[in-house]
């Protein structure tokens, strides 16, 4: 089955798994999905990211994080740039999410990184999503 927007599919799977209180989630692998998940793990939204399987059927195993009261660490997750409407921003135009309590994930020529890191490195790019 072909996918028109694999990033939106990844974000939707994470959102649905968090609402269903899953501890782990398995999604098909791509380098961009892996980079997004690694940024989410570095920012504390995911507990772990592991790549498994052979080349034609590689999978990403994501460990979801919850608070001690079993509430989701991710309050919201939105796709910003879509295949039909791409959103690009320069380093000065990348804003903060929810008063700096969340992150924007930006695809830059230097790789996938947070909006905060993109502003610090003075590089712009495509704003993929925001998570808070």
Report the percent of the chain where pLDDT is more than 90. 89
**Tokens describing residue 96:** 């903060």
Contact present, 26 and 59 (Cβ < 8 Å): yes
Residue 2: pLDDT band by 50, 70, 90 thresholds?
A: low
Task: Report the CATH number of the 6-64 domain.
Answer: 3.30.1370.30
Rounded Cα distance between 38 and 99, Å, is 23
Q: What is the DSSP letter of 89?
A: E
Mean pLDDT along residues 66-85 = 95
Domain limits, the chain:
6-64, 77-131
Highest CATH level, class, for 77-131: alpha beta
Does residue 122 carry a pLDDT above 60?
yes
Contact present, 112 and 104 (Cβ < 8 Å): no
pTM of the model: 0.93
The residue among 102, 77, 85, 73 whose CA lies nearest residue 10 is 77
Beta-sheet strands, E only, within 5-73: 24-28, 46-52, 59-64
């Amino acid at each position: 089955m072909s996918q028109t927007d694999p990033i939106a599919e990844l974000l939707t799977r994470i959102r649905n798994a968090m609402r269903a209180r899953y501890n782990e989630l398995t999604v098909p692998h791509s380098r961009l999905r892996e980079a997004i998940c690694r940024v989410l793990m570095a920012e504390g939204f995911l507990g772990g990211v592991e790549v498994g399987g052979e080349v034609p059927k590689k999978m990403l195993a994501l460990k979801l994080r919850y608070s001690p009261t079993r509430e989701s660490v991710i309050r919201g997750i939105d796709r910003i740039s879509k295949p039909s409407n791409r959103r690009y921003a320069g380093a000065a135009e990348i804003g903060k999410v929810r008063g700096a309590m969340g992150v924007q994930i930006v695809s830059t020529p230097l790789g996938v990184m947070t909006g905060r890191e993109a502003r610090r490195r003075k590089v712009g790019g495509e704003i993929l999503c925001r998570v808070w």
